[in-house]
A and B are shown apart, each in its own frame.
Chain A
Amino acid sequence: MTRSDKNPNPGRNAVTVRGLVKHYGETKALDGVDLDVREGTVLGVLGPNGAGKTTLVRILSTLIQPTAGTATVAGYDVLRQPRQLRRKIGLTGQYASVDEKLAGFENLYMIGRLLDLSKADAKKRANELLERFSLTDAAKRTAGTYSGGMRRRLDLAASMIGRPAVLYLDEPTTGLDPRTRNEVWDEVKAMRDEGVTVLLTTQYMEEAEQLASELTVIDRGRIIAEGGIAELKAKVGGRTLRIRPADRLHLRTMAADLDASGLTGLATTTVDAENGHLIVPVQSDEQLTAIVAHLAAAGFQLADIATELPSLDEVFLSLTGQKASAPQDAPARELEEVSA
């Protein structure tokens, strides 16, 4: 192997997944997934609970075996070369995978030793990473006493000890408060800027936007959309504009009028007849103003307008015209259990 980390070849795939299938009895956790993560990029895998994100990460980190399909990571096959592959990956799971009874330093030192570093190197590397993730002051404290954000940072540090070619971040900020989430994002951004290849799974559009350069949207084990963030964002919109006409009967004519006006760009207007409003993805304040002005000029009476960041549901709605599978679905729960 003469793989050179100093010159990551941007055209090369770090992760290649083809036709990946994983069944748990009747439940199809993954139902034919294709993925490419290019070296030095961050791929976001966006999907609701039970979409198959964790199953995907677990297969790619050799924790479980696929029912069918192939996957290679850093040039190694997950099925045929799991031992070599494990040297190339770092994993930060949904649940912090550190030993809560050990101090921060002891956690990192142990993993260094397990990765065949000498005692001196393991110690050096542990201290290096503690500093890098701003944990030096807490190095001697038991990880169980860490705050949620500190634990995730320790988890990230643990994943980085082996200088992985590919880092998996499985919902790295799920369950964190917004401030702590920002802390973790900053760390991931720094790693991204250093050229680490990352496969990130998330339930939040905003997180994908912040961290990933490319996005794959997954639901019920299938990929339903993929592409550059900008591309998908153009479809989904940065914000969602909700417009309620004074007269419900105008919903469809208003939608048709808006789409015909070209003001919605690549996206199309969605009619939410149930709640009596239109949903329009918008990219900018100018576009928003133009849309409202256009409707006013066309003589429509508006009862209410509101903007919000698109929820995952709305992302799915705009991408597929379907609602995302609800997290309370039975299969979703089963998957949660499997991944726990």
Chain B
Amino acid sequence: MSTATLNKPAPVEQQPLLNGEEDGRIGLRANLRHTGALIRRNLLWIKKDPESMFDALLMPVVFTLLFVYVFGGSIGKAMGGGHDTYVQYVIPGMLAMMSMSIAQAVGTGFNEDFHKGIMDRFRSLPIGRGSVLIAKISVEILRMLIATTVLMVVAVLVGFDIENWPGLFAAVGLSLLFGSAVMWIFLVLGVTMKSAQSVQAIGFLVMMPLQFGSSIFTPTANMPGWLESFTKYNPMSGLADAARGLMTDQGYPVAHGLWVTLAWTVGLTAVMAPYAIYKFAKKS
């Protein structure tokens, strides 16, 4: 066998080395190319394993039906309307919820990646440290976009009235932006925690209070004062409120929610993105 191998012409190792910039810095174009190759990897995963898309496809359906039909009547009545009033209220909230739920999944997937040797290979290649993470985030944003599309289709089916189309796109854009900022937190957890299960458990503990302690599902006016104050600066409320104001013409204010969401988005990204990349580069 070895003789056969030896007889093959032109041993591949004797050719010139790959060219690269002399100081080894990785330029923008190279970074984009590397990120592209890694995005392709994550897309191939989905192609090989379409079941991994089930959460993005089914979560919006299940949650929308549950909330609209279980709570819709009662909360709608309390709001001085009915089922339809609640639909107009909760769908923008669902958009906010979806961005966080999908963002959480990035942590577990990334953590599992680390238990295989492939991360060692990536980290021993001459590629930018961030490209592995950014590729992961790009694909998750795509999943979010799909989940959002499903959500809006279901929303219209249960009677949601898109009163402001440009507002809808703005709201979706905002939720993707915020979702990508949240992903950095889960990437940090994914890199630092020992198992995918613990990442999921921590993610759940962080998510539940943020999602329910907010204006996503119900107006906050009847909550105790301390909780109402918490919801004011909870980004989940901010995103839900802003989306409500943008997508509907029910007179919900946009500005406060928008600023809260943007502030959290910028803050989280500024702190967590470099930290995640640092942790990734230093992981032993």
Interface 9-residue window, one of A186-194, A213-221, A254-262, A267-275: A186-194
Does A169 count as interface, using CB distance less than 8 angstroms? no
CA–CA, A190 to B48, complex, Å? 34
If the complex has contacts A97-B116, A163-B13, A190-B5, are A102 and B121 also in contact, measured as CB distance less than 8 A? no
Q: Across the interface, do A61 and B14 meet the contact criterion of CB distance under 8 Å?
A: no
Does A84 count as interface, using CB distance less than 8 angstroms? yes
With a cutoff of 8 Å between Cβ atoms, the chain A residues found around residue B116 in the complex are: 95, 97, 99-100
Q: Across the interface, do A187 and B48 meet the contact criterion of CB distance under 8 Å?
A: no
Q: How far is the CB of B278 from chain A (nearest CB, A)?
A: 13
Q: Across the interface, do B15 and A163 meet the contact criterion of CB distance under 8 Å?
A: yes
With a cutoff of 8 Å between Cβ atoms, the chain B residues found around residue A99 in the complex are: 41, 116, 118
Select one of B15, B30, B284 contacting A64, CB under 8 A: B284
* CB within 8 Å of A: which B207-256 residues: none
Q: Across the interface, do B125 and A114 meet the contact criterion of CB distance under 8 Å?
A: yes
Identify which of B12, B16, B34, B45 gathers the most chain A CB atoms within 10 Å of its CB: B12
Does A91 count as interface, using CB distance less than 8 angstroms? yes
Identify which of A64, A99, A193, A338 gathers the most chain B CB atoms within 10 Å of its CB: A99
CA–CA, A115 to B33, complex, Å? 10
Interface 9-residue window, one of B18-26, B100-108, B177-185, B267-275: B18-26
CA–CA, A98 to B123, complex, Å? 13
With a cutoff of 8 Å between Cβ atoms, the chain A residues found around residue B124 in the complex are: 61-63, 86, 89, 91
CA–CA, A3 to B120, complex, Å? 27
Q: How far is the CB of A209 from chain B (nearest CB, A)?
A: 16
Q: How far is the CB of B33 from chain A (nearest CB, A)?
A: 7
Q: Across the interface, do B48 and A101 meet the contact criterion of CB distance under 8 Å?
A: yes
Residue of B nearest to A106 (CB): B44
A-B contacts, CB under 8 A, total: 143
Q: Across the interface, do B23 and A84 meet the contact criterion of CB distance under 8 Å?
A: yes
Select one of A87, A95, A128, A163 contacting B20, CB under 8 A: A87
CA–CA, A155 to B16, complex, Å? 22
If the complex has contacts A86-B125, A114-B37, A194-B14, are A93 and B5 also in contact, measured as CB distance less than 8 A? no
With a cutoff of 8 Å between Cβ atoms, the chain B residues found around residue A294 in the complex are: none
CA–CA, A87 to B24, complex, Å? 8
With a cutoff of 8 Å between Cβ atoms, the chain A residues found around residue B36 in the complex are: 113
CA–CA, A196 to B34, complex, Å? 27
With a cutoff of 8 Å between Cβ atoms, the chain A residues found around residue B22 in the complex are: 1, 84
Does A292 count as interface, using CB distance less than 8 angstroms? no
Residue of B nearest to A115 (CB): B18
With a cutoff of 8 Å between Cβ atoms, the chain B residues found around residue A195 in the complex are: 11, 13-14
CA–CA, A98 to B113, complex, Å? 11
Q: How far is the CB of A147 from chain B (nearest CB, A)?
A: 16
Q: Across the interface, do A190 and B2 meet the contact criterion of CB distance under 8 Å?
A: yes
| Sample (22) of A-B pairs whose CB atoms are under 8 Å apart | A5-B17, A58-B284, A62-B124, A84-B23, A84-B126, A87-B24, A91-B121, A95-B116, A97-B116, A97-B120, A99-B116, A99-B118, A101-B45, A102-B45, A110-B41, A111-B125, A114-B34, A116-B19, A117-B18, A142-B48, A163-B16, A194-B13
Identify which of B11, B23, B115, B118 gathers the most chain A CB atoms within 10 Å of its CB: B118
The chain A residues found within 8 Å of chain B, CB to CB, are 1, 3, 5-6, 58, 61-64, 81-89, 91, 93-102, 106, 110-111, 113-117, 128-129, 132, 142, 155, 158, 160, 162-163, 165, 183, 186-187, 189-191, 193-196, 338, 340
Q: Across the interface, do B120 and A93 meet the contact criterion of CB distance under 8 Å?
A: yes
With a cutoff of 8 Å between Cβ atoms, the chain A residues found around residue B262 in the complex are: none
Q: Across the interface, do A111 and B121 meet the contact criterion of CB distance under 8 Å?
A: yes
Select one of A63, A95, A155 contacting B284, CB under 8 A: A63
Q: Across the interface, do A110 and B40 meet the contact criterion of CB distance under 8 Å?
A: yes
With a cutoff of 8 Å between Cβ atoms, the chain A residues found around residue B44 in the complex are: 101-102, 106
Select one of B2, B11, B25 contacting A189, CB under 8 A: B2
Residue of B nearest to A6 (CB): B14
Q: Across the interface, do A101 and B49 meet the contact criterion of CB distance under 8 Å?
A: yes
CA–CA, A278 to B6, complex, Å? 44
With a cutoff of 8 Å between Cβ atoms, the chain A residues found around residue B126 in the complex are: 83-84, 86-87, 115
Q: Across the interface, do A97 and B121 meet the contact criterion of CB distance under 8 Å?
A: yes
* CB within 8 Å of A: which B35-52 residues: 36-38, 40-41, 44-45, 48-49
Residue of B nearest to A133 (CB): B5
Sample of 7 further A-B pairs with CB below 8 A, known A83-B26, A87-B18, A93-B121: A61-B120, A63-B123, A99-B118, A100-B116, A142-B48, A163-B15, A338-B284
CA–CA, A163 to B11, complex, Å? 10
Residue of B nearest to A182 (CB): B1
Does B150 count as interface, using CB distance less than 8 angstroms? no
